[in-house]
Structure 1
């Protein structure tokens, strides 16, 4: 398994490229602001051929380069229907003042081929089976993508802005809801094996076991609120 990632743009959103091996087909996860050049470098270095772009949620820092990447490679974009409208109007995911600050006269369009994700769906792409988990709370259409364990690697979850190392996604933007994200964390993260590698939308990688033990939000959900430290700041756009 080959997983390469880099932080894109001023938001430092992690864009990931996932393939069975070098020289194979691959999928691209969350190509954010100014991601195209770095993405092209990764694809060239590992001789990879994208077959799809996967979007964990519709916030602009995660989907900024979706249309250019899909258009250049003639591949579909996959996104949950609850966030699909953000592909063409990402300002809906931001307060009014932020819309004016970020977008000015900019316009966004959907890729020519957009396909909708569903909870529990298994995508068979680039020779891999990728499980989709609908995990709302950060946005209504937030999802995670999971790869099953193999001989080389443990289970892997691309968590988007659901779960970070030491924190969780913010819920104060349009479409966010704190009780909902806690339910998503409880349902989609806590049942996973401790060794599951978490590749988040921002910041360093972690594991479910580490977060179960040290993340104040997961610790509370796991019934250890008395011994957990105070809740840290949430992250993401």
Structure 2
């Protein structure tokens, strides 16, 4: 399994963690959740010296997917994810982003993702788990050998994803966290859609929202 280098680029007024994953062996890369500020993302890609092969989306909210259509157009690479249940969100990105004061375009991925799928770039790969609740079509990307994953807005350091937006459901989110994330090793580091990195073990112990799941 190739080692993967990670670069995080906060984008949009929501400071969403757009993440560039680089396969060290091949210098091929994937961009996860390019929510906006595409010139900033492009500069970050250039600084890594890597060649982007794919764009991955964890879910359909504007701050995560808003720059995906533009970046796909510029780079000529496919978009993979999220689950098709988020199609209604991706179909209305333009209207949604206008309400938040930043512009983006609606987008349709080249591949919808399901539980058990794999996404790949260079010699690196990530397993896909379907984690609805924050949105109906949220997915997370897991690299077991390197003990890291990208969880979008499902889980945060000390908190969990919002469920008061269209398609959100608290009980569904808690079930996703319990069955798809808390089954991972305590040492698993996760990159959230916003804020700092954490580990599954730290959240199992300290996250007040997870205490009821213990």
Q: Check whether TM > 0.5.
A: yes
CA distance in 2, matches of 1:7, 1:103: 17
Aligned CA-pair RMSD: 2.0
The answer as to 2:14 corresponding to 1:11 is: yes
The 4+ residue runs of structure 1 with deviation greater than 6 A are none
Q: CA deviation at 1:114?
A: 1.7
The answer as to 2:29 corresponding to 1:31 is: no
Conserved 8 A contact 2:131-2:176: yes
Q: CA deviation at 1:204?
A: 0.2
Deviations 1:26-75 (A, max 9, x none): 110000121x1222222111211111111000000101100011111111
TM-score (ref. length: structure 1): 0.83
Q: CA deviation at 1:220?
A: 1.7
Q: Which residue of 1 aligns with 2:151?
A: 159
Q: Which residue of 2 aligns with 1:40?
A: 42
**Residues paired across the two proteins, number:** 210
CA distance in 2, matches of 1:165, 1:9: 20
Gaps in structure 1 of 5+ consecutive residues: 223-237
CA distance in 1, matches of 2:114, 2:16: 24
Conserved 8 A contact 1:22-1:46: no
Please give the secondary structure, in 2, of the residue aligned with 1:40: helix
Deviations 1:126-151 (A, max 9, x none): 211210110000000001001122xx
Say which one has the larger Rg.
1
Q: Which residue of 2 aligns with 1:178?
A: 170
The answer as to 2:195 corresponding to 1:207 is: no
TM-score (ref. length: structure 2): 0.91
Q: CA deviation at 1:84?
A: 2.5
Please give the secondary structure, in 2, of the residue aligned with 1:53: strand
Q: CA deviation at 1:91?
A: 6.6
